[in-house]
Amino acid sequence: LNYLSKYNLTISQGLRSSTDGSFSPEINKNFITKIDSARKFPIISDNALFDHIQQQTFKYFWDYGHPVSGLARERSNATPETVTSGGSGFGVMAIVTAVNRGFITRAQGLARIQTIVSFLKNTVPKFHGAFSHWMNGTTGTVVPFGQNDDGADLVETSYMIMGLLTARQFFNSADAGETTLRNDINLLWNGVEWDWFRQNGRKVLYWNWSPAAGFAVNVPIQGWNECLITYVLAASSPTHSITKAVYDSGYARNGGMVNNNNYYGYQLPLGPSLGGPLFFEHYSFLGINPTGLNDVYANYTTQTKNHTLINYSYCVSNPKNWFGYSDSCWGLTASDIQNGYTASSPTNDVSYLAPTAAISSLPFTPTESIKALKFFYYVLGDKIWGQYGFKDSFSLQNLWFADSYLAIDQGPIIVMIENYR
């Protein structure tokens, strides 16, 4: 029988023995054959493997970057004109990584980021300094993300600004091109009116604003989730900052984001039951270093590590008995699934694992993440490794393997491997 295949064994009552006996009741058994444990690619050193994964994944942002704007396309299996502001911020950080690793030259990286920054500065509409979630990669016009969501997206803007500030710090020479880049980035950074998104002075930031519908979406940015970076940047803005009271009342919900329950032997300082999807610990921490970081609500070293270990332990314990879950094959976060998309977590586990979940957790759980990374590459590589690195997700239970790549999932793989290194 073939590896990793579904079979149905049927023995009907029409099968008769020599004495005219039959099977009663009829036998009908569905089963999946085991994983082929053979290594699909030659074994290389850990450092060489990190290089290989980063370089292949980087092609998503470099080779597949939009030819006019340089921005990252939202996904590989949708219209190539739709680019994403948040994913492009991750892509800028990926370009910095690529220069640092020698995948491209400093001049090449500078030129691409100059293209991106020029497009953002001169072509893309800004809404009180903020960017839309999606835009057209050629014209810059807004591509609506949803009903009444055709203007500012403050969270996506924060991911873009995080990437741009990373580039500003990296391209730090007196060279005229690098100096101009830093000045242009500062214009974009200083232009974001973070405090305006308090919606008439309330002690919370709001996610969206539409030029036609105003604050109709009316979603406050409250934690614990992927939005810590939004409040950190708003607090540190040199031109439109917020006060600590907005963070305490808005994001921290005056302590409402605190959890402190134990799951699988790990105390979880913040967030929903069992932690939620792992991107909560990825997006903001691409740029924020949680090591030694504390406030009155949490120790963020503990938060990032224990949330990941809870996610890992859940997959290892595998309470739903999904085929394939193990200490080498784990990681629940938002990803494509068969015929859709979902934010997978221990409380929303439908059998789909995303390589970005475990790999982007490398700085927090290096032992567990490296084991998963090697399993994904060496054992499942014939199924989930492709043109732009690891494909978005898979389900061994359903024998389904995505053919898609998403900017917001590929970017953290590159950047978090670099943060770990």
- Rounded to 5 degrees, what are φ and ψ at 314? -60, -45
Q: Is 101 exposed, middle or buried, given 0-12, 13-18 or 19+ CB atoms closer than 10 A? A: middle
The 10s digit of each residue's pLDDT in 128-158 is 999 999 999 999 999 999 999 999 999 999 9
Q: Indicate if the pLDDT at residue 333 is higher than 90.
A: yes
User: pLDDT band at 24, cuts 50/70/90?
Assistant: confident
Here the tokens at position 9 are: 């064994």
How far apart (Å, rounded) are the C-alpha atoms in residues 298 and 63?
40
Q: What is the pLDDT of residue 356?
A: 98
Q: What does the pLDDT average to over 29-58?
A: 97
**Nearest C-alpha neighbor of 131 from the set 117, 149, 159, 151:** 151
111's CB contacts (< 8 A; 6+ apart) are none
How far apart (Å, rounded) are the C-alpha atoms in residues 25 and 14?
11
User: pLDDT band at 313, cuts 50/70/90?
Assistant: very high
User: pLDDT band at 260, cuts 50/70/90?
Assistant: very high
Q: What is the pLDDT of residue 311?
A: 99
The 10s digit of each residue's pLDDT in 105-127 is 999 999 999 999 999 999 999 99
User: pLDDT band at 54, cuts 50/70/90?
Assistant: very high
From residue 169, alpha-carbon distances to 312, 315, 355 in Å are 34, 38, 29
**Nearest C-alpha neighbor of 54 from the set 421, 419, 415, 370:** 415
Of 12-26, 36-50, 123-137, 170-184, the poorest mean pLDDT is in 12-26
325's CB contacts (< 8 A; 6+ apart) are 315, 316, 318, 353
The 10s digit of each residue's pLDDT in 153-169 is 999 999 999 999 999 99
Here the tokens at position 269 are: 């300082």
Q: Which amino acid is at 16?
A: R
Q: What does the pLDDT average to over 79-97?
A: 98
Q: Are 96 and 167 in contact (CB under 8 A)?
A: yes
User: pLDDT band at 17, cuts 50/70/90?
Assistant: very high
Q: What does the pLDDT average to over 184-205?
A: 98
Q: What is the pLDDT of residue 109?
A: 98
Q: What is the pLDDT of residue 8?
A: 96
Backbone φ/ψ region at 200: left (φ over 0), alpha (ψ -120 to 50), beta: left
Q: What is the pLDDT of residue 381?
A: 98
Q: What does the pLDDT average to over 355-384?
A: 98
Assign 140 to helix, strand or coil.
coil
